[in-house]
Amino acid sequence: MKHNYSFSFKFTTKYGVLVYLLLFLSLPTFSQYYPGGLSNTNLQIWLDANDASSVNVPSAGKVNSWDDKSGNVVDIIQGTSTKYPTYSTTAGVLNGYHYVQANPSGSDAYSTNTNLSAASTVNGLSTMTMLAVATPSTVTPAYNYAAVNPIFWWGKETANWGQVAMSLSTSSPYFAWRFGTGTANSDVLYTPSSVTSTTAYVMAAAKNGATEKGYFNGLAITTPTSGSLTGKTTTISSTTSQFYIGQGQGGGQVSGDQGTGAGGNNKTGEILIYNSNLSNTQLVILQNYLAAKWGVTLDAGSKYFTPPSATTYNYNLTGVGRTSSTDFVTSTVSGDGLGISLASTPADNGDFIMAAHTNPNPSSNANYVTLSSVTSGITATTNLTGTSPTIAERWADEWYIVKSGAFTGAPNITISFDAAGYFGTGNYTNFGTAANYKLLNRATSGATNYTVLAPSASVSGHIVSFTLTASALSTGYYTLGTTTSTTSPLPIELLSFNASSCNNKVCLNWSTASEKNNDYFTIEKTKDAVNYDFVTKIAGAGNSTALRDYSTEDNAPFEGISYYRLKQTDYNGNYTYSNLSQVDFEPTSSSFSFNVYPNPSSGDNITLNFNSDKGIEVLVKIYDATGREVYSKIIVAEQKGMNAFVLDASTKLASGIYLITATSLDNFQSKKLIVK
């Protein structure tokens, strides 16, 4: 789980121990990135199976939680180990990336379904958009289409069931979606010419009041097989509902009945849900983003980006363009720091510029590409023969940019490189003198030389930009270079920093892709994010263009939750800090532990599991977001090992974020609880 929260609690336990706890309870902190580079589009839920940091794998090939990346914390979970879906990757399926699959056996009985779910509020929407990339289910539907064997299902059985759903199946075959309430008549069904269970497809559907639209692999659905695209005036009712992966509508599952709701066995890679009606241009960009990433072939009329190969230059696509005189996107920024903007609206329909790069190296968490001609590092001096002026260094990473359409009138196009967006907050330094930065281009991947393009650079802190006309931009590979690394360094320092509990100590690991005048690193730790203690000092490499890995240990860590940061100091005394890395350290000699579920919770039926010796007293306290104690009780372990305790039925917690603490003898542990 990767959300950062902040404020502090202070309390004294029954045992006289004064405890200061730092919890980060503000809004989650995410990189400034949205799918397709589109921002301000009211993204509500974003699930990306290939982002390993968003998926919790308790055992090999299984997943029990999948984090929402939208910032709305609609994290979906499964508390029963026998119902964990599969988390896997198969070459050729979903481009070899990770995917989540519920019910691989194809069972549609609710009692045996594997699924993930979370409570989430449907906010009375009259406009909505959803996209998914998945393989079809091979399970024959029990009755209706969209809400049975779904890729996902978002609704509530009582009164307003089947509110939002999307389904794809080899049975018939069909692609179906649903917005609103009611029976199977609310489904819109489209019959593709053929679908296979080993092929991934991109699907999209949007609701704008009484009008709906759908796409299958980029093909606009104008005449559905059944159902209607118009006349559906029903607003999606405002209600707290369940969001399911691998569980269909049916049988009152919200109220606890087993029912007959089917479960599909789709291999699902990514799901996007917005509370707005995205424009056709936005949907073109998003479908190209999904298709490039997951290896899907779009309909020719909607295909504006083709990677050099299925698995290269296909990641984090961003783009600008136009589908009509009133429907256009003129500025986007990818999650890898590449920005594209147009000074004026494109003149012609079908004018698009899209860019992507190669998937970050999963083995080292390095968010860069090592080209075949570059031995290592984010900066390199190869592939620079014959450049004028001479390029001292360049980013080894590069973006593949595709221009489609005439771009009549040759509007100005600005290409920008954002170090903060690329490397993450705290992991970069600012750009230097603008005149020394150059925009580099090569036409093909086999080229040995880069061309230095004419536009001059403009620097603003961590962003360097180049403006050129559309006629000067051609399809090819682009990256950033500098003529001098002294006054105009390429601002990349730290690739990763991680602190983790291991073998009764804390292990600290970090990597750099390049180092400039790097004197030394300092490790610091804290309990409250205010007062920091020195841990150790490690010499830097001075100047390096090679990927370097560092590691050290803290043999006297704080017990419980603490935070570590890395400080990098240059020869001239300038320094930068990494992000905080959280550790929950418990000595291995401790036999006490506890957990809480369900989490997130509806506020009642909260269960605490304790692992302790028989007869041990455990003091349980709950604090709300202001630090106010709202619950306190002493529990006695009835047996050695696992003990389950359900909070009093009268304890109904209101929506919010809480801290649950458990104190036993010299042991203290805390857990965060989210109540929807």
Quick one: 653 and 573 in the same domain?
no
Of the candidates 570, 556, 562, the residue with the CA atom closest to the CA atom of residue 512: 570
In one-letter notation, the amino acid at residue 613 is D
**Secondary structure (H, E, C), 124-164:** CCCEEEEEEEECCECCCCCCCCCCCCCCEEEECCCCCCCCE
Full strand arrangement of the beta sheet holding 656-664 = 629-636, 617-623, 656-664, 667-675
Q: How far is CA 362 from the centre of its chain?
A: 15
Residues paired with 117 in a beta bridge: 77, 244
Average pLDDT over residues 336-360: 89
**How many CB atoms neighbour CB 178 within 10 A?**
32
Q: What's the pLDDT at 592?
A: 67
CA distance 185 to 182: 7
Domain boundary among 559, 585, 611: 585
Quick one: 563 and 606 in the same domain?
no
Of the candidates 156, 197, 143, 150, the residue with the CA atom closest to the CA atom of residue 175: 150
Whether 582 shows a pLDDT value over 90: the answer reads no
Q: 3-state DSSP helix/strand/coil percent for the chain, to nearest 5?
A: 5, 45, 50
Average pLDDT over residues 19-34: 35
Q: What's the pLDDT at 216?
A: 97
Q: What's the pLDDT at 165?
A: 86
The residue with tokens 């029912």 is: 259
Whether 20 shows a pLDDT value over 60: the answer reads no
CA distance 649 to 96: 47
CA distance 208 to 194: 29
Quick one: 219 and 153 in the same domain?
yes
The listed range with the strongest mean pLDDT (95-104, 198-207, 333-342, 488-497) is 198-207
Residue 109 lies in a domain: yes
Average pLDDT over residues 570-593: 71
Quick one: 513 and 391 in the same domain?
no
- Residue 277's Cβ-side half-sphere holds a number of Cα atoms within 13 Å equal to 14
CA distance 347 to 383: 36
Domain boundary among 449, 482, 515: 482
Residue 95 DSSP class:
G
CA distance 476 to 473: 9
Question: What residues make up the domain containing 603?
Answer: 591-675
Please tell me the pTM assigned to this model: 0.70
In one-letter notation, the amino acid at residue 44 is Q
Q: What's the pLDDT at 99?
A: 95
Q: What's the pLDDT at 157?
A: 53
pLDDT tens digits for 598-647? 777 877 778 887 877 778 888 888 888 777 888 888 888 888 777 788 88
pLDDT tens digits for 97-136? 999 998 776 554 444 567 788 777 666 567 889 999 999 9
Domain boundary among 563, 585, 607: 585
Supply 39's token pair.
Answer: 């921002």
Classify 149 in phi/psi space as left (phi over 0), alpha (psi -120 to 50) or beta: left
Lowest mean pLDDT among 17-21, 288-292, 537-541: 17-21
The answer for residues whose C-beta is within 8 angstroms of residue 45's C-beta and 6 or more apart is 68, 70, 72, 74, 120, 243, 271, 272, 273
The number of distinct structural domains making up the chain is: 4
Residue 292 lies in a domain: no
* CATH code for position 168: 2.60.120.200
The answer for residues whose C-beta is within 8 angstroms of residue 634's C-beta and 6 or more apart is 14, 617, 618, 619, 620
Whether 379 shows a pLDDT value over 90: the answer reads no
Quick one: 615 and 538 in the same domain?
no
pLDDT tens digits for 477-489? 998 888 887 777 7
Residue 399 lies in a domain: yes
